[in-house]
Amino acid sequence: MVRLMMHPEPSNYSYVFDFEENFHYEWTRQWMTENWTNGFYYCTIYAMLVFGLRRMMRDRAGFRLKGLLVLWNVMLATFSLVGFARTAPELFRVLNKYGLHHSVCVTSYLIDDKVSGFWSWVFVLSKLPELCDTIFVVLRKKPLIFLHWYHHMTVLLYSWFSYSEFTSSARWFIVMNYSVHSMMYSYYAASAMGYRMPKQVSMFITASQLTQMLVGCFINYTTYGYLKAGGQQSCRVSQINVTMSSLMYFSYLLLFAQFFYNAYFNKSKKSSKTKQQ
């Protein structure tokens, strides 16, 4: 059985803000334990609003919303970049000093590191306002694919449930999501400003999302192995959580792989056939 190391040395940050220093994980976990199921209500309202607006917009011209779109994406890009800068050092230090087992099985990123703990807390909260992404898609009459709204809803529900359990492997998912979103929303912001980005940029971002899902599947597989070997005494992740996470990440992997193929390869084949004709 692998012994849990619950109190590693805290990360060495160059500066800690007062709101980070004053973070107390106890009340946040209690709040999420009492309220995480409200995520189902929010998702229901989200689905009704999105598909209701979509129906309303069916015979209307799409809105441009350029200013709002730029502001929204700049805000999310900045938030994601700062979040990555404040959570990644803890993951890298833990991996380097304590190894893979600690990184997926010990909740020190919430309990012993106030900076990482605070930005993990606001990360799960941010999944609620991020639902507004879809409102922009619908009002601008852009294609609304299944992957888009399915991903938003399931991430919200899983993130809130995981925080209520203080899931240890979630530190990986948080850091990866912050990283990919910082690139993705920066790209969206630049596009909204009118900059035409090379195809390679969007391709790299989609490839990063696909890589994120591959790593997520690996982390879940690794976590399951630790649970099977020693149970929750050796790894602070519940069986239902790793099962849900595995199904979710595997579905994302398939959907993002399909999207990647259709966006960058299937489209190229269609263009080549059209030119030949």
Q: Indicate which residues carry an active-site annotation.
A: 151
| Alpha-helical regions (H) of 193-238 | 199-230
| Alpha-helical regions (H) of 106-238 | 108-111, 114-126, 132-139, 146-165, 170-192, 199-230
Q: Cβ of 138: how many Cβ atoms within 10 Å?
A: 21
Run of H or E residues at 266: none
Run of H or E residues at 40: helix 38-56
In order of 47, 54, 156, 258, the CA distances from 153 in angstroms are 9, 17, 5, 19
Contacts 24+ apart (CB under 8 A), 53-56: 53/135, 53/138, 53/139, 54/138, 54/144
3-state secondary structure of 67: helix
Identity at 156, one-letter amino acid code: L
Q: Which residue has the tokens 């994406």?
A: 73
Q: Spell out the residues 6+ positions from residue 226 whose beta carbon is closer than 8 angstroms to its own.
A: 2, 101, 104, 105, 234, 235
